[in-house]
Chain A
Amino acid sequence: MSEINIDMDGLLEMFFEEAEEHLTAFENGLLELEDAPGNLEVVARIFRAAHSIKGASGTFGLTEVTRFTHALETVLDRLRAGSLAYSRELAQVFLPSVDVLRGLVRAAREGTAAPPEAAQIRLALEAFVHTVPVTTTSTEPVAVKSGARDVIVRVLPKLEFMSRGMDPLAILRDLADFGEIVSRDVDATSVPELDVLDPEQMHLSFRIGLRTEKTDAEIAEVFAFVDDLCAFKIEEVAVPVRAAATEIEPAPVEPGPVTVKDAANSAKNPGAPAGTIRVSTEKVDKLLDLVSEIVIAQAMIVDATRDRGNEAETRLNEALLSLDRHTRELQERVMSIRMVPLASVFGRLPRMVRDLASAVGKKVRLVVEGEGTEIDKSMVEQLSDPLTHLVRNAVDHGLEFPEDRIKKGKPEEGIVRIRAFHQGGNVIIEVSDDGKGLDTAQIRDKAERLGFVSPEAVLTSEQIHDFIFHAGFSTAAKVTDVSGRGVGMDVVKRNVEALKGSLSLSTQLGSGTAMRLRLPLTLAIVDGLAVRVGRQTFVVPLLSVLESFRPSPAQVRGVLGTSEVIDMRGTSVPMVRLHELMSEPDAERDPSRALLCIVEANGTNLALLVDDVIGQAQFVVKSLEVNYRKVNYLMGATILGDGRVAMIIDVQSLARNTPRAGAITDVSALASHSASEAA
């Protein structure tokens, strides 16, 4: 019994996850309907989403969810049949109903109270069923097309059918949704006398005559959750003449999802929600193939080492090479299991944009491109907040009000565009708007007033725009309401940096702003440059490495006697002595006898002083937080080929803790400034 319960928990968890997906599909479908109320394809998609939730919730005995989705489904069915039009009134009930349904599903998942407005919304939905005259009779108004055939489905539940809280009616209802019920018979002959009747046992069986287009396999799916509790038989009665020529659709062969426990994720990111990943069977199959290849390669090695001589050595080398290739591919494929499309984050945005636009009184069109771009599952979850923030900012602060847009000769409706794509081992997500853009002069003004920069400092417009990412800048923006954009941008930036990504912006006054998120595909593996400092090896993420060279003594300058800078082609780059930072005593101290590794983080360049550059490789990132805690300037550790642990340097935190290039300004400007002062 307990085993069955555990199994049910797993299935239930799967239901909840799928329900979330269906809800998102439902919601986005509704938003599409706003633009095209007559689009039956969209109605059908929404109907399927509602129906899937209803069917599964019935199986699990989540009565509240079932009742609610049933009401939704009934209205949708009328929409689909054309006996009801998608009106504004209906939309006003439908959209909140998604929230209610989501609330109901969450309530069931977390065992909390159902949303209070559930009953009210359900009644409102049911009103749509009753107010409009019903044209069809009480039979299911599902259109029966030419592919229909008549089948008899015998539903033969076992005695213990109800022991898991299964409702036999749920099965019958599901069958009814497949087409037209032609006949229904209940076999009650095995019901015992009342005094010996155990009400918890199931004594009835059913015989349902169904006219349907569904294949046997599709009908059998109704029984998927109860296959050990309920026998069934599907018998074809008579094939209608027209249908004889029609091919019967084969069962769907698209790869179905399997569920893999996301254990690695929870271990690597303490605090990050553990969960499951739905992986296509295709990916799993490829993995299996690859593992067999590796087993073969390994056998080849064993075989080759048995013999001696040149020929054996050649064979050994070949086998090792193939093992190497396969292991790499295996690693990549295992990583790809953790990859999920960004659609799951983007899916929540249309509704948010719609609600926000109507709240602030703007007209907004959201364009989403590249939602199929894949990224590590653990990142998707942490991406949701910053992305929502960026889109919210674009609508709230980036876009102008319709009247202002018309005045400027722009279309009344503003566009917020989200674009995701892969670029050189990174995922780029751009959030752009065609709004008013950033006003560089105003930002500079405010930065000066806030004391972030002195009025004399020579800054590029990029450096000025960077101030909107400053903590404290945004709060001031709210109070004085100068440039607007920038609410919590420092938080967004920090979130993105926590994902080892970077955030940059480009803007054009009057024509819009684009925020560009650059993220690694995964946090589990990093392409890095191994460098030696004294006796220790460190890894610098390759993403941030620009170049490395040995400086001439003249290139090294001390500024104001405290921080050292490197003069690189006229600009000065702050130097970071890694050996000091990492307390490594046996390192080369003279830069002109060591090497400098120039790294870039958030537009700031740094010169890391290292003894030597060892080479470039992929490193598996091991979090220090799993067994210890976060350590300053380190993004984690990795294990080298010799089994030793090496530290991976967090360039971003180094850059944050080193005086900014902007504050130092470039050497030549400094020189000319003092020269003019002298004159």
Chain B
Amino acid sequence: MSTPQSSDAKSSERGQYLSFALGTDEYAIEILRVQEILSICPITALPQTPPHVRGVMNLRGAVVPVIDMRGALGLATEPYGKFTVIIVLSVKGRTVGFVVDSVSDVLSFDESAIERSPDLGGRVDASLVSGIARTQDRFVVLLDTDRVVGADVPFGLAA
């Protein structure tokens, strides 16, 4: 988040991502969509919603839905641990929180390092993935933020 000003020009070519862990796998989302990161807080369950929609939280007076990222991607759920955090995303005027196992890093990738239509072997829903970034030591699944959020939060009703 505390990226130096000089990276402005670079970031247009090199996309910046916030990476997080779900189990042993590393995922990332565009950093410009990240509003803040919170430690886990009281969540009020919502009735009549899919199980991975954990409920809503009070974010400084705003009622914000909290979605389990594991559930959203079709992975098995895990109990919350001490690194569990909520990544608050701001997408198309909506504010939505996603529970992840932990946040790892701010990464930047050249477009050339991203494989756009990867074969994930059916581990996660391919329509939610925008690409795979590979570096020497890393294998990061880049998520399509709009689709991940849009799967649970209908945009059509937004003001």
Contacts and interface: CB of A to CB of B under 8 A. Distances in A.
Interface in A610-637: 622-634, 637
B148 interface: no
Grouping DSSP codes into helix (H, G, I), strand (E, B) and loop, the A interface class, with mixed when no group exceeds half, is: loop
B127 interface: no
Given A270-B157, A622-B62, A626-B63, A583 B94 contact: no
Contact of B63 (A266, A271, A627, A632): A627
Interface stretch (B15-23, B44-52, B71-79, B130-138): B44-52
B95 interface: yes
A582 B158 CA distance: 25
Given A627-B65, A644-B42, A632 B47 contact: yes
B85 to A, nearest CB: 19
A237 interface: no
Interface string B51-86: 000011110011111000000000000000000000
Contacts of B122: none
Contact of B157 (A629, A632, A643, A645): A629
B44 A631 contact: no
A652 B65 CA distance: 24
A639 B63 contact: yes
A495 interface: no
Interface residues of A, number: 32
Nearest to B97: A627
Interface in B89-137: 94-96
Contacts of B94: 626-628
B4 interface: no
A626 B94 CA distance: 7
Contacts of A631: 46-49
Interface in A631-664: 631-634, 637, 639, 643-647
Nearest to B90: A627
Interface in A269-308: 269-272, 274
Given A627-B94, A645-B58, A270 B158 contact: yes
B58 to A, nearest CB: 5
Contact of B159 (A267, A536, A628): A267
A245 interface: no
Contacts of A274: 159
Nearest to B56: A645
Contacts of A269: 159
A145 to B, nearest CB: 53
B47 A634 contact: yes
A629 B47 contact: no
A623 B42 CA distance: 19
Given A628-B56, A628-B65, A645-B56, A633 B48 contact: yes
A267 B95 CA distance: 12
A14 B61 CA distance: 32
Interface in B19-44: 42, 44
Interface centre among B58, B95, B153 (most CB of A within 10 A): B58
A270 B93 CA distance: 11
B58 A624 contact: no
A645 B96 CA distance: 15
B50 to A, nearest CB: 11
Given A266-B159, A624-B56, A629-B153, A637 B63 contact: yes
A639 B157 contact: no
Contact of B95 (A623, A627, A632): A627
B58 A627 contact: no
A633 B57 CA distance: 19
Interface in A345-371: none
A675 interface: no
B51 to A, nearest CB: 9
Contact of A581 (B47, B62, B153): B47
Contact of A270 (B55, B58, B63, B159): B159
B61 A639 contact: yes
B154 A629 contact: yes
B34 to A, nearest CB: 16
Contacts of A628: 46, 56, 63, 65, 94, 96, 153
Contacts of B153: 627-629
A644 B47 contact: no
A624 B63 contact: yes
Contacts of B42: 643-645
B58 A647 contact: no
A532 to B, nearest CB: 13
Interface centre among B48, B49, B62, B63 (most CB of A within 10 A): B63
Interface in A569-614: 581-584
Contacts of A625: 157
Contacts of A630: 157
Contacts of B65: 624, 627-628
A267 B62 CA distance: 11
A582 B56 CA distance: 14
Interface of A: 266-267, 269-272, 274, 536, 581-584, 622-634, 637, 639, 643-647
5 contacts: A536-B45, A582-B47, A629-B153, A632-B47, A645-B63
Interface of B: 42, 44-49, 55-58, 61-65, 94-96, 153-154, 157-159
Given A623-B63, A631-B47, A645-B57, 19 more contacts: A267-B159, A270-B158, A536-B44, A536-B45, A581-B47, A581-B48, A622-B61, A624-B46, A624-B63, A627-B63, A627-B94, A627-B153, A633-B47, A633-B48, A637-B63, A639-B61, A644-B42, A646-B44, A647-B47
